[in-house]
Structure 1
Amino acid sequence: MKVTVNVDCTPEEARSFLGLPDVQPLQEAVMAQMQERMLGSLKSMDPEVLLRTWGPMGMNNLEQIQKFFFSQFPANAGTPPGKK
């Protein structure tokens, strides 16, 4: 035996019929707060802010990183084989 019941109602009507709470105001408040936080975090994605954060000593810091990087290579790494 198979029984099919079709109910034609809106989500709000079904929620009130089943006694479920209306969470729409809570959802709107949470979404507004999430949007505010996301927009605030976009400000930190500004390239100028990122450079200031990552390089507190400005260009001197970049030069130090380059010197360290190139100091890891052997002194004769740029010369062709047999020309030492």
Structure 2
Amino acid sequence: MKVNIEIDCTPEEARSFLGLPDVSEANKLYVDTIAKAMKGVSNPAQMAEFAQALAPMGQMGLKMFQNFVEGGLKGSSAKSSKSDKD
């Protein structure tokens, strides 16, 4: 048997329901800082260099996030196939 549940809520409601912290103020500060710094960028190469410097842990951070997502998807599909056999 397979049951699907659809929940319609805002991101704020989902964070609250899951017990996650509200990071909207930190996000606003981060976006404002980047916007101010980007005002001085005059060409695409300069923008790419700036974005790479701002990314948390640069390329390594992006790779870690990608591995995290792929691992979650593999675990989810393995779980689904196991429950389908039951």
Provide TM-score, normalisation by structure 1: 0.45
Larger Rg: 1
When you count helix as a share of all residues, which structure comes out higher?
2
